[in-house]
Amino acid sequence: MVRKLEAVYEGGVLRPVVPLRLEEHQHVSVIILDDLADDGEELRFAPREEFEALADHSITLEDVRRELSPISGSLDADFAAERNER
């Protein structure tokens, strides 16, 4: 799941402005968008030409279905449940 949130850096720790629904000791990935950054680097969507050359066109739709089939549940149901939690 991807969520955007605001946090405050205090005493060497990032503190979310609003409470998070996470399990204790759950590992997460963090992307920091520092409004004060001056390195000129910014997150952006890459144009198709930049990643198209990296695509593996030998992978078929059937390959993808076979690899995803062991995953239980329904992505649609997960989205609906998340909306109902709000």
Kindly report, residue by residue over 10-28, the tens digit of the pLDDT.
999 999 998 888 889 999 8
Q: Would you say residue 56 has pLDDT above 70?
A: yes
Average pLDDT over residues 46-73: 88
- The residue ranges of every structural domain in the chain are 7-35+44-85
Average pLDDT over residues 19-41: 77
Distances (CA, A) of 5 to 16, 17, 52, 77, 85: 7, 8, 31, 24, 17
| Gap between the terminal Cα atoms of the chain | 15
Q: How far apart are CA 18 and CA 5, in angstroms?
A: 8
**Rounded percentage of the chain residues whose pLDDT exceeds 70:** 87
